[in-house]
Amino acid sequence: MVPRSAGAEPPPAWYLRDWDSGALYKRGRLLGEGTFGRCYQVTEVTSGRLYAAKLIPRARLATAAIGDRVERERELQRHLRHRHIVRLHGHFTDRGHLCLLLELCSRGSLADILRARGRLTEPEVRYYLRQLLSGLRYLHGHGLVHRDLKLSNFLVTERMRVKIGDLGLARRAAPPGRRWGALCGTPAYLAPEVLERRGHAVPSDVWALGCAVYTALTGHAPFEARHRPELYRRIRGARYPLPPQLSPRARALIAHMLDPEPAARPSLAGVLGHPFLTQGFTPQALPPRACHSVPIFVGQEPLRRILRGLRCWRGCGCVPVTPGGGRAPPQST
C-alpha cells in the first residue's frame, strides 16, 4: 500500500460553498503549500472577487496543535484591520475542509521576489521596511507579537504594497517578567533569548525583522549552518558576516537589530528613525517589474528634478527604460 503523505491528500472540489452565507467560490490555481494545507486562488462567483484560500483538511484540525493554531489565527485576524496586515475575510467548512478566506496578494511573497532577484537594493528595502514597520507597530500596539516574521510571510499586492501575513504563531505579548517559553518560529531567524527559552517578546520580533532585512539585502540569511547545533551557536554568539557591499548605514542598522541583548535592540520607532531609513532615498511606489529585475531610480537632486518629465507614470521614482533604450509607454493594470 502506498503511504498517504500530505501531498497525496485528495484535492478539494472545484467549487466550495459557504453553507451559512450561501456564497459559492470557484477554486483557481494552486498558490502553494501552507503550513497546514494547500493555498488556492479562489473567485466568489457572484461578485467575481478574488481571495487567497487556505484549505485545511478537517482531519488535520483534529490534531490539537494545528487546531489551536488555526483557531488563534482566525480569532486574532478577525479583529485586526490595517493596510499592512493581511485581512481575513471569513471562514467556512465544506466537504471536510476548513477554508480561511484571506486577502489575495497577487505578486506573491518577498521570498518569491528575492528568489527571482537574488537580492534587493537599499531603496527597495527601505520602501518595504517602512510598510512592514507600520503593520508591526499596529500588531505590537494591540499587545501582539508575531513570532514568525520572515520574507515568505511578507506578501505583495497587485499595487506593490507589502502586508504581514500568517498570524498563526502570533500571540499576546507576555506581561513583563513572564515570557512565552515555547520554541517556535523559523530556526534561522530565532533570537538568542528565544533559543534560551527566555521567551519571545517585542525585541525578538525586531531580531527576526533584522534577519529579514539582512537576507533581502544580501540574498542569504545572517545565520546559516548545515546542522542545527552550529546554527544555534552562531545565533547565540551573534556571529554573522557583514558583506562589504552593504552601506555603512545598513550595517549599523543590522548590527543594532541583531544585538544579542534584547534590551539593547532598537524599538520599532527606533528602527523607523534610524539613519538607514531617514537619510537614504525611498521610492514612493515600486513598479511591478521590480518583482523580476532591478528597478532604476533617479533618486538624487538635481538630476531628479531635471528628469521629472521622464519619470514613470506611477510616480515611483523609477525611469521606465525599454530594451531599446527608449521610454516605455505607460502600461495599464
Q: Which residues are catalytic?
A: 148
145 versus 164: smaller Cβ distance to ligand 9ZP: 164
- Residue 68 neighbours by CB under 8 Å, 6+ apart: none
Beta strands 97-103; 38-44: pairing state = unpaired
Query: With CB under 6 A as the contact rule, which of the stretches 4-12, 30-38, 239-247, 306-314 interacts with ligand 9ZP?
Result: 30-38
CB of 117 to ligand 9ZP, least distance (A): 12
Q: Please tell me the distance from the alpha carbon of residue 56 to that of residue 67, in angstroms, as a whole number.
A: 10
Query: With CB under 6 A as the contact rule, which of the stretches 33-41, 179-187, 229-237, 290-298 interacts with ligand 9ZP?
Result: 33-41
Indicate whether 253 belongs to the interface with ligand 9ZP (CB under 6 A): no
154 versus 276: smaller Cβ distance to ligand 9ZP: 154
Query: With CB under 6 A as the contact rule, which of the stretches 104-112, 211-219, 225-233, 234-242 interacts with ligand 9ZP?
Result: 104-112
Total chain residues near ligand 9ZP (CB under 6 A): 17
CB of 106 to ligand 9ZP, least distance (A): 4
User: Which three cell numbers mark 11?
Assistant: 484535492
Omega before 302 within 30 of 0, i.e. cis: yes
Window 142 to 181, contacts with ligand 9ZP (CB under 6 A): 155, 165-166
Q: Please tell me the distance from the alpha carbon of residue 137 to that of residue 83, in angstroms, as a whole number.
A: 12
State how far the alpha carbon of 303 is from the alpha carbons of 50, 121, 295, 313, 325, in Å: 41, 20, 17, 17, 18
Phi and psi at residue 17, in whole multiples of 5°?
Answer: -120, 135
Find cell 551557536 and name the residue: 233
80 versus 221: smaller Cβ distance to ligand 9ZP: 80
Find cell 501552507 and name the residue: 34
Chain residue at closest Cβ approach to ligand 9ZP: 32
Find cell 490595517 and name the residue: 82
User: Which three cell numbers mark 73?
Assistant: 489565527
CB of 52 to ligand 9ZP, least distance (A): 3
Query: Whose CA is closest to 56, among 88, 95, 23?
Result: 95
Out of 106, 134, 186, 247, the residue judged to bind ligand 9ZP by CB under 6 A: 106
Query: With CB under 6 A as the contact rule, which of the stretches 99-107, 218-226, 254-262, 295-303 interacts with ligand 9ZP?
Result: 99-107
86 versus 235: smaller Cβ distance to ligand 9ZP: 86
State how far the alpha carbon of 132 is from the alpha carbons of 64, 156, 240, 296, 333, in Å: 31, 11, 24, 23, 24
Out of 24, 41, 93, 220, the residue judged to bind ligand 9ZP by CB under 6 A: 41
Q: Please tell me the distance from the alpha carbon of residue 22 to that of residue 18, in angstroms, as a whole number.
A: 5
Beta strands 50-57; 97-103: pairing state = antiparallel
CB of 14 to ligand 9ZP, least distance (A): 18
Window 188 to 217, contacts with ligand 9ZP (CB under 6 A): none
Give the other-Cβ count within 10 Å of 306's Cβ: 10
Per CB under 6 A, residues contacting ligand 9ZP are 31-32, 34, 39, 41, 52, 54, 86, 102, 104-106, 108, 112, 155, 165-166
